[in-house]
Amino acid sequence: MWDIFLKTLPFFAVIGLGYISGRTRFFTEEATAYLTKFVFYFALSAMIFRFAASLELEQLLDWTFIKAYLAATASVYVIATVVSLLRGVSVAEAAVEAQCSVIGNIGFLGIPMLALLMGPEAVAPIIIMLSVDLIVFSSLIVILITGSRGGGLSLGILRTVVMGLVKNPMIVSVVLGIVWSSWNLPMPAPAEEFLTLLGAAATPGALFAIGASLASKSAERMSVAVTISAFKLFIHPAAVALTALVIWPVDPFAAKVMVAAAALPVAGNVYILAQHYNVAPQRVSAAILVSTAVSVVTVAATIAWLETL
């Protein structure tokens, strides 16, 4: 475990550097927003496209893998929703809390960190998980929040969901990469070098942006934040391990990647949705802060456990 902890520590150290820069106002919220845009639309997109362009379509259409991940995530989502509703919160708040309980920081933290720790072959399983998260659960939360406000399942809601997917650079990068690979298009050397150079900025940029964005987060509603963090860091990866290793066994390496990615802390994009719809943004903020801090230890412990399998 100690060796794994030392390997993951530099990643969290960069997050810590970003956090300190944000807290001291050396890196302002505006600067953080622009850095996040650069990583999201350019660096990370270049990394994802480059990886996706080298994959076969069959690698991304592993239906056993998709079934195992979707079943585990949906089960935890339902349980988290029930737990929230039993506390007496609204459907919209329950949807946000459930989203926090299952959606990890796969894009900004998972792809850069796990690709380096577990090798580039880890990217294909991560891309599958990222696609499921964006297509299924990011769409579901919009439908639940809007529907709970009396909007119903209208064409307007469906249009919002579809446009959100179409405009998401991660989805676009995956699709373009798959098309490139499917057509067996050659990658010119200058283009390969360009994508490699730009994609190399994704890891430090994304980690620094995570830390800087955490600097503006508050730690309110700690009891709820701790509960959500427990779901995300322990219950979700445990459920994924059960489905991927026992119920519907998938490729051993892919299963390890799935469990490791499921153990990541709450994703920052959940806060963006909560803030946009004005549904418990402080609660989400606290959950992101707590889960990220605790994951310094739990992610290393999870990866160390997976290495024993």
Report the CATH number that the domain containing residue 78 is assigned in CATH.
Answer: 1.20.1530.20
Q: How far apart are CA 77 and CA 70, in angstroms?
A: 10
The closest of 105, 85, 81 to 95, measured between CA atoms, is 81
Q: Write down the pLDDT at residue 150.
A: 65
Round to whole Å and give the CA distance between 267 and 133.
11
* Low-confidence residues of the chain: pLDDT under 50: none
Q: Which positions ≥6 away from 147 have C-beta within 8 Å?
A: 153, 157
Supply the pLDDT for residue 64: 96
| Number of domains within the chain | 1
Please name which of 201, 180, 198 lies closest in space to residue 190, comparing C-alpha atoms. 198
List the structure tokens of 234.
Answer: 């322990």
Question: Distance between CA atoms of 188 and 20, rounded to whole angstroms?
Answer: 41
pLDDT value of position 67: 97
- Of the candidates 34, 21, 41, the one whose C-alpha atom is nearest the C-alpha of residue 208 is 21
- Name the burial class of residue 139, with classes exposed (0-12), middle (13-18) and buried (19+) by CB atoms within 10 angstroms of its CB: middle
Is position 51 within any domain? no
The answer to the question of residue 90 being in a domain is: yes
What's the distance, CA 77 to chain centroid?
15
Q: Are 214 and 289 contacting, i.e. CB atoms less than 8 angstroms apart?
A: yes
In a domain, 56, yes or no: no
Residues 6+ apart with CB under 8 A from 64: 248, 249, 250
Dump the DSSP string for 111-171.
HHHHHHHH-GGGHHHHHHHHHHIIIIIHHHHHHHHHIIIII-S-HHHHHHHHHHHHT-HHH
**The pTM is what?**
0.88
Q: Answer whether residue 176 is part of any domain.
A: no
Residue indicated by tokens 């739990």: 298
* Residue 177 forms part of a structural domain: no
Does residue 216 belong to any structural domain of this protein? yes
pLDDT at 255: 97
**pLDDT score at 271:** 85
Query: Residue 95 domain-assigned?
Result: yes
Q: Within a domain: residue 76? A: yes
Q: Which amino acid is at 229?
A: S
d(Cα 133, Cα 282) in Å, to the nearest integer?
22
Domain holding 257, by residue range, is 2-44+63-169+185-306
